[in-house]
Amino acid sequence: MKKYKVLSPNLTSPFQNFIYEIGKEYICDDFDESDKECSRGFYATDLEGIIYSFRPDRKVFEVEMYGKEKRFSQFKHRWEKQKIIREIPENELKELLKECEVGYNIYEACYPINPFLTPIKEVTEKEIELLKKWASVRESFRDSLSDSVRESGRDLFSDSVRDSLRDSLRDSLSDSVMDPVWYSVKDSVWDSIEASIWNPVWDSVRDSVWDSVWNSVWASVWAYTSSLFPTEGKNTFQPCIDLWKLGFVPSFDGEIWRLHAGVKAEVVYTMEEK
């Protein structure tokens, strides 16, 4: 049975640190048929399951799985026997992901758009209007958090406030997306986006401005993530999504909104908070 397995480029398992060989048959003599999810056996998935462990520094391999088996979810499926057939070339993997119909954009979940790799464009009235709309959307979330932040004495840019903002955004998205799809893959998709996009985007913006804008940049990453899921009606975060796909990342320090663009996350537009 043909399946897919995510490994490091040298064929090392990212979870067990076991090094595989292409073409070699592996047999688990004490295969665990119990309901324990992480146990003895060899793991692989259909294409939709690779999002659980796929990261920018890992590769996807085609494998043959056979013998006894135990399936838990689209992310967890183990077999008694396994043989790694070949590495899937990146261009082939991308085409497979584009054709994979799983209820959300699994291609961009694995290969998210980095707005700073988009050539810098002139800021027009279109981008300015999108920024104003995003400022209005984000202000409504910020206001909903302000009272609890003040009562607790927490810093507006602390980790706990970021978590609260994330939860507010996630709850809002959860009200509009197709629940079965969202709840089954949301954590895996976010882990992939965070590994691929959050760190490089944040590092670029931080070099361009300063640490106090990170909360707003984080919100932009989450807004983009929401675009990977189908929604009923208009996505609340669409202004930020449109900016992201046009190659602009908004940041806000409490007084000034900025648009960053290009490989150095240059500030290409500023707007005072009214």
Average pLDDT of span 21-31? 97
Task: Say if 117 falls within a structural domain.
Answer: yes
**Does 126 or 165 have the greater pLDDT score?**
126
- Same domain? 119 vs 244: yes
* Structural domain containing residue 261: 111-272
Task: Say if 254 falls within a structural domain.
Answer: yes
Task: Say if 106 falls within a structural domain.
Answer: no
**Torsion of the alpha carbons at 69, 94, 245 and 262, rounded to the nearest 10:** 120
Model confidence at 232, pLDDT cuts 50, 70, 90, reads confident
- Same domain? 77 vs 133: no
- Same domain? 116 vs 88: no
**Structure token digits, residue 111:** 């290969």
> For 151-207, what is each residue's pLDDT tens digit?
444 443 344 445 555 555 555 555 544 455 555 676 788 788 888 887 778 677 766
- Please check whether residue 127 is in contact with residue 243, taking contact to mean a CB–CB distance below 8 angstroms: yes
**Does 219 or 71 have the greater pLDDT score?**
71
- Same domain? 157 vs 251: yes
Strand order in the sheet with 266-272: 249-252, 256-261, 266-272
Mean pLDDT, rounded, of the chain? 83
- pLDDT confidence of residue 226: 85
Average pLDDT of span 242-268? 91
Task: Say if 131 falls within a structural domain.
Answer: yes
**Does 263 or 182 have the greater pLDDT score?**
263
- Same domain? 165 vs 260: yes
Average pLDDT of span 18-28? 96
Task: Say if 105 falls within a structural domain.
Answer: no
Task: Say if 159 falls within a structural domain.
Answer: yes
**How many domains in the chain?**
2
Q: Which of 100, 119, 148 is the last residue of a domain?
A: 100
- Same domain? 131 vs 230: yes
- From 7-21, 72-86, 260-274, the region with the lowest mean pLDDT: 260-274
Q: CB-hemisphere CA count at 13 Å for 117?
A: 6
